[in-house]
Structure 1
């Protein structure tokens, strides 16, 4: 996923590794795409060796210099290949940790169950808010097309669906 994301961002414009990293963090894309911020530099170096990206320019600021990368023709072909592959992989990922825990929930006390589910709910609500603020940051950095808007709305619904399940479970355990 890192390669696809980096190549896709470089397709929009040349960027430094730091700029890519910050854009992913600020827009919360690092969380839904499963990209570790530190993996950006490794991916850039590897893709440079493979001829998928190249240094477009070197910017100097005081004693520091940073490489600005751009995608190559081979990188564009790799991007299309990775993009097609990403669209063909199943996009449904069930919350296996939660489902496994629910399979054995009878081994906890009612209070432990409710407290654990409320903790999970709080985490998901916080993550949902970060995603919502992430879309605003992304809108400020680049134009948002209809597909990207639909993508974010789907991400929001995924969180809301899980939160609704947790609320229903909490209500259920409060009533037994």
Structure 2
């Protein structure tokens, strides 16, 4: 999965209709160029590629102000399905890259509350398993004939899993308590799906 793909689909979906410069400007306000390495070229490439894949459609061409014309895009039904698939993977799979998780969190409120909690609970189950596996590996390192220092790798994995567990449990609790305006709540977050 690509964080850029999720971010571009999400911003176009959020605006309902957006051109590349608008997508770029929005993502810059989120500092996505730093945490997801989203560059102008990757945004325009994603727009063209996803248009060719029928995930986006061109809806308008506006004259550029002293520059090239601006093509506006809108998300298609297929694009909305892809957006939700990528969002679900980013939130539910602990193995997703950090940029993908960050992109998923950026669009968390595009989901109904129960769906978001369900995805995070799936993440929780996997993280609990990873933490338990790492703990068992720490205990059994000597029995495997591994060098003692290899246990540090297992300690790192265990610490990462514990940190992920703590964050995920806290986010689930905040969502269950009603924090954040979610899709399906009174007033929609991040735009309506395409008609």
Task: Normalising by structure 1, report the TM-score.
Answer: 0.49
Task: Normalising by structure 2, report the TM-score.
Answer: 0.45
Structure having the larger proportion of residues in helix: 1
